[in-house]
Homo-oligomer: A and B are copies of this chain.
Amino acid sequence: MFFWKLWSIANAKLFAGKVNNITVDKCTKFGIVFKDVVAAFEVVNCNGVEVQCQGTAPTISIDNTAGCQLYLNKESLGASITSAKSSEMNVLVPSDETDGDWVEHPLPQQYIHFFQDGQFTTSPVSHSGA
C-alpha cells in the first residue's frame, strides 16, 4: 500500500488491515490506523503524521519527516524503529499500570559527536525533564 501526497485526513483516519508493506510519502497532517504489517511500515517526506499500529510491525522507519506520532500496542512494542533526518517524533505505548492510558516517549532528534580514541562516538541529546 502506498499513500502519496495526501493532506489533512487526520480526523477521518484511513484504516488498513493486514498488508505486506505500507509507505506514506509526502503526506501532511495524515492519519493511518493499521492492523498488521508483514514487512515494513515507512513514513517518508511527511509533515505531521499520526500512525497507529494495532497488530504487529517488525520494522518502522521514519525518514525526512517533521512530526510523527506513533501509537504502538503491546504486540508491536518490539518493533525496530529507524529514523533519519527527522524531528518531533513521539512514540506512544500503552501503560502497564493504568490500563488504556498512553505513555509518550519522545525519540531523540539531535545527536552529539565527540572524538575519542581515534574515532567519533555518538550519543543522543535528551531534552526531557524526566
Footprint of B on A, CB under 8 Å? 66, 72, 77-87, 91, 93, 96, 105, 107-115, 118-120, 122, 124-125
How many copies of this chain sit in the oligomeric assembly? 2
* CB nearest neighbor in B for A112: B82
Chain B residues with Cβ below 8 Å from A113 are 80-83, 91, 107
A118 CA / B96 CA spacing, docked (Å): 9
Please pick, from B66, B82, B119, B125, the residue contacting A82 in the complex, using a CB distance under 8 A. Answer: B125
Q: Are A111 and B111 in contact (CB under 8 A)?
A: yes
A112 CA / B105 CA spacing, docked (Å): 14
* CB nearest neighbor in B for A82: B112
14 contacts between A and B (CB under 8 A): A77-B115, A80-B112, A81-B112, A81-B113, A81-B114, A81-B120, A82-B112, A82-B113, A83-B110, A84-B111, A85-B85, A85-B109, A105-B119, A105-B120
A29 → chain B, closest Cβ, in Å? 19
Q: A81-B112, A113-B82, A115-B78 are in contact. Are A124 and B122 (CB under 8 A)?
A: yes
A77 CA / B116 CA spacing, docked (Å): 9
